[in-house]
Each structure stands twice: as structure tokens, then as C-alpha cells.
């Protein structure tokens, strides 16, 4: 039973039961520990039954009886067929508690059994309890403030909520994870001057929202890249670096084409787009107010930023500099006033930066609209040029026809001869084309079939690559989980006492198996001996019955003629009856001995149930209940 109790204690620890190190068997379980273990198991097996029950035994006796009845009813609803009641938890005995706990452990879901590979340390138990608490809070419906109980006021109070406002965070670990070489200046800045994440937000309340947004942005970017790579990147037959560089070059080329197209717009296109804002003016505003021909002049990013920042509203900048200069009389002001003015300046500059950012967004939207309108105008212009070419060709044909009309009599035979020659030339060309067309068609058909087969092969290989990519990701996830499990198991292994070795456990298991095998052999031997003995008893009983029947028949025949034989017949009948009574007495004696052994086992079982101590506890609980009832009656009388 010790091994069974250790398995039970290990399983209960995994579901969150806090079992002390001194508790080694079910016999040492207290009422509080039994209630906690049963409630934890019910919460894992059937959350609807266990979430409404407290795992802490209340101090009041009436509350304890109610909790015991609730636990007994929950176990019966779960399907437990044994005898169970409030006394099972309050006045426990070892066999009943062991049977109940074995039933609950067997009822635990398979996923909990799979989680048995995870360590049963305090951190894992804490994480599981936190997850269960969050799931329980999410399952509680929202209730209006006027209808909330005191417990819900702590979890659903509006005073604990904040608006979802975020702020950009700077995380240095992203630079190291990107795989690029980090400059020395950036590394020095991150080591010496970059504040921690908790100090970067202007308000401490927006830190969780900022972290959530940053994490969501990173996760979504990784997911988008994986989706794009699986949908388009694998089909391009390039590695990820080449695919990214090719995409970057394509984007740069599109930007250069758009800018070149905008810079080459003439006065006609500008007149066509007169209803909207001029693109040249917009680009001129970015370049600092230069002429239209200098819209796309070259310059550094710093010069463009400087022009954009300081040439838009110079009067405001000068005014702010004068205000900052006047606001620093120096020695007479305290450091707090200086810091307050600096914060005001930072706030005003931040507001101006927000205004400039909004203006940049408006200008960017105008640029996009102008680019779309220019694309439409260029498409319309191409269509008109194609129409003009067709009309020019038609006009040229009509012009030549008009030139031939004055001398029609001489020109008609020439035209007829020219038409006949053209017809013959067309027929000749058609025959030559037929000679060349047949092999070309055959070659085209073969190339098309080859292309189709290669396309199927490439599609199959792309599918294989995708499946391999998925398998690789799954294998990586599994390897990561196993690595974490290995680290946790190694930590537990290091925390184990050094005097315990694997060979000792193995030897103990082998000894247990050997003892079980010996007991099984002894039981088999006893059963075979019992069967042989029963066969021998049956054969002797049959032989005795047959011998008595034969003897009775022979003696009965002679008893009719001889008086002494008649007396012998009476003695024979009396002997047979006495032997039968003796055999019956022996059987009754064996039955009584078995009943005595059963009664002794029942006595030992009753002694193990701690009946005397349970009776004392019942008396104490009865006195406590009477005291509680008296106190309640006194309170009612006083009220």
C-alpha cells in the first residue's frame, strides 16, 4: 500500500494539492488535506462541479457539514458508487479515503496524465493555478455595478481599468536577435543611456498596453512573413535573403519610377490636374520651398529633415527660443522650476511634432491621390495615342486613294496587276508558312507538354517544401518543449538528495516484482493443493458411500435369517450415522474457523477506522454545534 499511496500523493501534487513532505501515506491525511485533494481533483475532472466548492475547510461546524455534504453529492454526481457522506471527509478512515482518491485519480483527464511529464514543482503548480483562476474569472458574466456582490466588485470594478493608450518602446534585444552586426555606438547607448522598459512610458498605467502592442506587432510581423513566404516565397525558388532583397529592389524601383514620372510631368498634365493640389508644390514643400525644377534635388536625410522642421514655421521656433532664454534667469530659480519649464517645453515641442506629423500624413495622402490620378491620365493618354495611330493609318490610305482618282483609267489596270501580284505573293507566302508552321506547331506542343510536366513537378516540390517547412517548425517546437522539460528535470534532479541513485530504485522495483511473483506462485500452489484435496475428499466420499451401500445390501440379506447379523446391521447403521455427523462437525468447524478469521480481519479494519477517536471528535463537534446554536439563539433574542 505504500507504493500505491506514493503514486496517489504524486498525482494529487500535480493537480495543485499542497501535500507536506512529512505526509507519506493516506493514513496521515488530515481532514483539511482530504477536502483540498478532493476539490482539486473535481476542479480538474469537472470544473462545473469543483469551481463552486471551497478547497479550504471552514472553521464553523455547520459550514463543515454543508461542505462535506456538497463534496459527497459532487462525487456521487461524478459516478462514485461507494459509500460516501459528510463523515467520509470529517471522520475519515483509511480504506474509504484510499478508494475515493484512487477513483478520482483514475478519473483525471488524459491531458493531465500527459502533463505528468512536466515537473511538479511549485512554479508549475503556481502557473496552473493562475491559469485556472483566469479561466474562472473569464467564465463569470459581466454584472451591472448595482447588482454586484462584494467579490465581483474587486474583479469588475471600473476603478481598476484604464484606457488602452500605448507608447513606443525601445527594446535592445531586437537588435541582437535580428542577426545584423550592431554598431558600437548603438551598443554603448543601449548599455549606458537607454532606460529600462518600465521607465520609458510617460505614465506607468500604459506600460502593459505598450508591451502588449509591441509583442502583438512582433508576433503579427512573424506570422505575416511566414504566410508570405509559404504562399509566394517558396514559389519563387529563392532563399529568404534573396527574396527579401528582390522585394526591396522592386519596391525601390517602383518608388523611383513614380518620382521620375512625377518630375517629368509637363504643363498639359498639370493643366489636367488643376482641380487637385499640384504635385510639384507638394514635393516643393518637402524640399524646403525650392523651384519646380529642384523638386527632386539630392540631399542628405538630415538636410531634408532640417528644412522640413525649421523652414515651415520659423517665427514659432524663434519665439520658443526667446521664451526658453527668458525662462532661465539661472541662479535664483530652483531646480524644480527649471525641470517644470523643461517639461512644458518638451510638451509644447511634442504638440508641434504631432501637428507636423499630421501634416506629413495629409501631404502623403495627397501624394497618393495625385499618383492615382496621374496613373489614370497616363492610361487615357496611351489609349488616345493608339486611337490616333489607327486614324493616321486610315487617313494615309484614303489620301493615296484620292491621289489615284484623277488618272483612274490608267491606274485601274496597274492596281489590278498589283492586286494579282499581291495575291500570288500571299499564296506563295502561305505555302511557305505552312511548311514552317507544322514543325513549329509540333515543337510548341512538345514544349507545352514539357512545361506542363515541369510545372507539375515544381508544384509537387513546392508542396513538399511546404510540408517539410511545417514538419521542421513542429519539430522545432517539440524540441524547444523537450529542451525546457529537460532543463526543469535537470533542476529537479540537482535538487534531489545525492545519496539516492537510480540503481536503488531499480533494485527496489525488481524486489517488489519478485515478491509479487513469489506470492503469485504460492497462491497458485495453494489453489492447486486445494483442488487436489477437494478431489481426494470427493473420491473418498464416493468410495465411502459405495462401500456402505454394498455392505448394507450384503448385511441386510443375512439379517433376515440370523439375529446376530441383525445386530451387526444396526451397529453398521449407527456407525455410518456417527461418521456422517463427525464429517459434518469437521466441516462446521472449518466454517467457524473461516468466520473467526473474517471477524478478526473486520476487527482489525474497525480498529484501523479509528472509531473511538472519531466518536470523540463527533462528541466535540456536537458540543461545538450546540454552542453555535446557543450563540445564534442569543443573537436572535437580542435582536
pLDDT per residue as tens digits for the range 288-319? 444 444 434 444 444 444 444 444 444 444 45
- pLDDT of res. 501: 60
Whether 19 and 44 have beta carbons less than 8 Å apart is answered as no
Q: What is the DSSP string of 265-322?
A: --HHHHHHTTTSPPHHHHHHHHHTS--GGGTT----HHHHHHHHHHSS-HHHHHHHHH
Whether 173 and 190 have beta carbons less than 8 Å apart is answered as no
- pLDDT of res. 155: 58
pLDDT digits (tens, 9 = 90+) for 419-447: 888 888 898 888 888 888 888 888 889 99
What are the grid coordinates assigned to 386, written together? Answer: 493608339
Q: What would the mean pLDDT of 478-505 be, rounded to a whole number?
A: 77
- pLDDT of res. 291: 41
Q: What would the mean pLDDT of 152-179 be, rounded to a whole number?
A: 65
- pLDDT of res. 277: 45
pLDDT band of 282, cuts 50, 70, 90? very low
Q: What is the DSSP string of 243-273?
A: HHHHHHHHHHHHHHHHHHHHHT--HHHHHHT
pLDDT band of 173, cuts 50, 70, 90? low
Q: What would the mean pLDDT of 473-501 be, rounded to a whole number?
A: 80
Residue 403 has pLDDT above 60, yes or no: yes
Q: Does 187 or 274 have the greater pLDDT score?
A: 187
Q: Does 381 or 274 have the greater pLDDT score?
A: 381
pLDDT digits (tens, 9 = 90+) for 4-14: 788 788 888 88
- pLDDT of res. 502: 66
CA distance 608 to 4: 18
pLDDT band of 332, cuts 50, 70, 90? very low
- pLDDT of res. 522: 92
For the chain, what are the domain ranges? 2-120, 173-237, 241-327+334-404, 407-495, 526-608
Residue 151 has pLDDT above 60, yes or no: no
Q: What is the DSSP string of 340-372?
A: HHHHHHHHHHHHHHHHHHHHHHHHHHHHHHHHH
CATH code of the domain made up of 2-120: 1.10.418
- pLDDT of res. 592: 93
Whether 368 and 277 have beta carbons less than 8 Å apart is answered as no
- pLDDT of res. 174: 56
Percent of the chain scored above 70 by pLDDT?
79
pLDDT digits (tens, 9 = 90+) for 578-588: 888 888 898 89
CA distance 544 to 131: 77
- pLDDT of res. 283: 47
- pLDDT of res. 201: 85
258-272, 369-383, 451-465: which range is least confident on average? 258-272
pLDDT digits (tens, 9 = 90+) for 406-415: 777 777 787 7
pLDDT band of 595, cuts 50, 70, 90? very high
pLDDT band of 157, cuts 50, 70, 90? low
- pLDDT of res. 523: 93
Residue 116 has pLDDT above 50, yes or no: no
pLDDT band of 254, cuts 50, 70, 90? confident
The contacts of residue 89 (CB under 8 Å, 6+ apart) are 31, 34, 35, 38, 67, 68, 71, 72
pLDDT digits (tens, 9 = 90+) for 40-89: 888 888 888 777 788 888 877 878 888 888 888 888 888 888 888 888 88
- pLDDT of res. 525: 92
CA distance 156 to 144: 9
pTM of the model: 0.34
Mean pLDDT of the chain: 77
- pLDDT of res. 251: 84
Amino acid at each position: 500500500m505504500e507504493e500505491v499511496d506514493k503514486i496517489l500523493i504524486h498525482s494529487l501534487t500535480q493537480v495543485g494539492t499542497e501535500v507536506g513532505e512529512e505526509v507519506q501515506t493516506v493514513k496521515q491525511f488530515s481532514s483539511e488535506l482530504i477536502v483540498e485533494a478532493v476539490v482539486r481533483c473535481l476542479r480538474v475532472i469537472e470544473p462545473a462541479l469543483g469551481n463552486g466548492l471551497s478547497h479550504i475547510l471552514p472553521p464553523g461546524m455547520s459550514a463543515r457539514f454543508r461542505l462535506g455534504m456538497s463534496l459527497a453529492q459532487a462525487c456521487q454526481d461524478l459516478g462514485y458508487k461507494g459509500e460516501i457522506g459528510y463523515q467520509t471527509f470529517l471522520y475519515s478512515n483509511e480504506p474509504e479515503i484510499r478508494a475515493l482518491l484512487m477513483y478520482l485519480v483514475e478519473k483525471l483527464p488524459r491531458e493531465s496524465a500527459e502533463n505528468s511529464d512536466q515537473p511538479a514543482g511549485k512554479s508549475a503548480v503556481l502557473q496552473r493555478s493562475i491559469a485556472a483562476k483566469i479561466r474562472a474569472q473569464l467564465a463569470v458574466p459581466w454584472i451591472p455595478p448595482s447588482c454586484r456582490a462584494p467579490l465581483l466588485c474587486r474583479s469588475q470594478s471600473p476603478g481598476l481599468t484604464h484606457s488602452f493608450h500605448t507608447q513606443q518602446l525601445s527594446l535592445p534585444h531586437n537588435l541582437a536577435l535580428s542577426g545584423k552586426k550592431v554598431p558600437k555606438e548603438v551598443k554603448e547607448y543601449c548599455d549606458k543611456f537607454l532606460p529600462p522598459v518600465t521607465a520609458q512610458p510617460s505614465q506607468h498605467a500604459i506600460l502593459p498596453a505598450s508591451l502588449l502592442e509591441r509583442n502583438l506587432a512582433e508576433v503579427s510581423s512573424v506570422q505575416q512573413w511566414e504566410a508570405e513566404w509559404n504562399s509566394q516565397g517558396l514559389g519563387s525558388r529563392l532563399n529568404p535573403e534573396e527574396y527579401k532583397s528582390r522585394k526591396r529592389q522592386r519596391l525601390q524601383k517602383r518608388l523611383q519610377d513614380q518620382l521620375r514620372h512625377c518630375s517629368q510631368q509637363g504643363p498639359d498634365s498639370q493643366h489636367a490636374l488643376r482641380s487637385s493640389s499640384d504635385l510639384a508644390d507638394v514635393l516643393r514643400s518637402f524640399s524646403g520651398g525650392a523651384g519646380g525644377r529642384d523638386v527632386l534635388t539630392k540631399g542628405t536625410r538630415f538636410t531634408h529633415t532640417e528644412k522640413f522642421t525649421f523652414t515651415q514655421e520659423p517665427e514659432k521656433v524663434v519665439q520658443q527660443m526667446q521664451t526658453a532664454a527668458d525662462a532661465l534667469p539661472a541662479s535664483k530659480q530652483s531646480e524644480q522650476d527649471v525641470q517644470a519649464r523643461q517639461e512644458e517645453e518638451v510638451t509644447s515641442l511634442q504638440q508641434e511634432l504631432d501637428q507636423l506629423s499630421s501634416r506629413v500624413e495629409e501631404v502623403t495622402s495627397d501624394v497618393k491621390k495625385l499618383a492615382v490620378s496621374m496613373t489614370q491620365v497616363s492610361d487615357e493618354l496611351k489609349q488616345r495615342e493608339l486611337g490616333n495611330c489607327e486614324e493616321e493609318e486610315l487617313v494615309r490610305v484614303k489620301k493615296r486613294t484620292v491621289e489615284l482618282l484623277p488618272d483612274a483609267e490608267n491606274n485601274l489596270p496597274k492596281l489590278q496587276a498589283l492586286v494579282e501580284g499581291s495575291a500570288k505573293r500571299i499564296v506563295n507566302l502561305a505555302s511557305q508558312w505552312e511548311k514552317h508552321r507544322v514543325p513549329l506547331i509540333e515543337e510548341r506542343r512538345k514544349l507545352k507538354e514539357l512545361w506542363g510536366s515541369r510545372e507539375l513537378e515544381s508544384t509537387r516540390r513546392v508542396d513538399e517544401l511546404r510540408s517539410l517547412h511545417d514538419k521542421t517548425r513542429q519539430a522545432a517546437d517539440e524540441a524547444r518543449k523537450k529542451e525546457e522539460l529537460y532543463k526543469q528535470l535537470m533542476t529537479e534532479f540537482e535538487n534531489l538528495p545525492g545519496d539516492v541513485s537510480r540503481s536503488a530504485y531499480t533494485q527496489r522495483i525488481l524486489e517488489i516484482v519478485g515478491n509479487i511473483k513469489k506470492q503469485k506462485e504460492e497462491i497458485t500452489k495453494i489453489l492447486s493443493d486445494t483442488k487436489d484435496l477437494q478431489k481426494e475428499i470427493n473420491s473418498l466420499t464416493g468410495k465411502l458411500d459405495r462401500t456402505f451401500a454394498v455392505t448394507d445390501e450384503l448385511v441386510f440379506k443375512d439379517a433376515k435369517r440370523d439375529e446376530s447379523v441383525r445386530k451387526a446391521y444396526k451397529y453398521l447403521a449407527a456407525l455410518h450415522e456417527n461418521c456422517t455427523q463427525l464429517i459434518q462437525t469437521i466441516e462446521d468447524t472449518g466454517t467457524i474457523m473461516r468466520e473467526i478469521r473474517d471477524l478478526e480481519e473486520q476487527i482489525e479494519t474497525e480498529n484501523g477506522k479509528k472509531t473511538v477517536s472519531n466518536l470523540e471528535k463527533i462528541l466535540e463537534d456536537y458540543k461545538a454545534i450546540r454552542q453555535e446554536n446557543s450563540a445564534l439563539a442569543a443573537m436572535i433574542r437580542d435582536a
